[in-house]
A and B are shown apart, each in its own frame.
Chain A
Amino acid sequence: GAGVSQSPSNKVTEKGKDVELRCDPISGHTALYWYRQSLGQGLEFLIYFQGNSAPDKSGLPSDRFSAERTGGSVSTLTIQRTQQEDSAVYLCASSSRSGFYEQYFGPGTRLTVT
């Protein structure tokens, strides 16, 4: 079946511009995560959606970052007024329920802020 997909695969933007990154989770998966991974670094948790519960936004690094999940499926991560330090790979993952189940990762979006 189809896995987690993300778009775009690569995004180059100028400092100060806004960007939107999209994640399509596996159908039926109620849990969705966003992570940021800088070159050679670990998985930095950003935000977690679980069903209809309020999202866990505890990992968002600043108020320039926001995310939404529409209809319990597709999610969009928005970064406003991008900075060079926002350059990283943004990974999305989904799982069938909460933290007790395997996370399936998407291929990531490589964001470069010039």
Chain B
Amino acid sequence: GENVEQHPSTLSVQEGDSAVIKCTYSDSASNYFPWYKQELGKRPQLIIDIRSNVGEKKDQRIAVTLNKTAKHFSLHITETQPEDSAVYFCAASDGYNKLIFGAGTRLAVHP
């Protein structure tokens, strides 16, 4: 079955800097890669996703890149703000079976 590894487990940046979180997956059949953000005490929410027919997707300050050959994908947050502080989860699915989540990255953005 699918296995998703996520790094780093914690990330601390200064406001305005960029943050990058990386994930690798094991199942070459996976073709859907979402990212979820969980603020303290809140439920996880989808922030961006990418499907295997594209290599990059951007939405304002966040972007996701996918390398299917290497089986890894990354979340990039530019011009970080304190409200970006949260736990971020990557995930992967082959579209038919359940979504598999990474262990999460705790991002702290310091003013």
Is there contact, CB below 8 Å, between A102 and B98? Answer: no
Is A105 part of the contact surface with B, judged by Cβ < 8 Å?
Answer: yes
- Contact yes or no, A98 B98, CB < 8 A: yes
In the bound complex, do residue B49 and residue A42 qualify as a contact, i.e. CB atoms below 8 Å apart?
no
Chain A nearest CB, measured from B81 CB (Å): 23
CB pair B43–A105 under 8 Å, yes or no, is yes
**Residue A102 contacts which of B34, B95, B103 (CB distance < 8 angstroms)?**
B34
> Across the interface, do A108 and B94 meet the contact criterion of CB distance under 8 Å?
no
Q: Which residue of A lies closest to B98 (CB)?
A: A48
CB-based contact A43/B89 at 8 Å: yes
8 A Cβ contacts from A32-46 to B: 33, 41-43, 45
| Size category, A interface | 20 to 34
User: CB within 8 A of A106: which of B32, B43, B94?
Assistant: B43
Does the CB pair B96–A99 fall under 8 Å? yes
Q: Assess the B104–A103 pair: CB atoms within 8 A.
A: no
Chain B, residue nearest A40 (CB): B106
Residue from the set B31, B46, B102 with the largest chain A CB neighbour count within 10 Å: B46
Known A-B contacts A42-B89, A43-B89, A106-B43; the reply to A99 vs B103 at CB < 8 A is no
Closest chain-A Cβ to B96's Cβ sits at a distance in Å of 5
Taking Cβ atoms with an 8 Å cutoff, the residues of A that contact B are 31, 33, 41-43, 45, 48, 50, 56, 91, 93, 95, 98-100, 102-103, 105-108
Give the interface of B toward A (CB within 8 A).
Answer: 31-32, 34, 36, 43-46, 49, 89, 93-104
Known: A56-B98, A98-B93, A100-B31. 4 other contacts (CB 8 A): A45-B100, A91-B43, A99-B94, A107-B43
Q: List 8 A-B contacts (CB under 8 A).
A: A42-B102, A42-B104, A43-B104, A45-B98, A98-B93, A99-B97, A100-B31, A100-B96
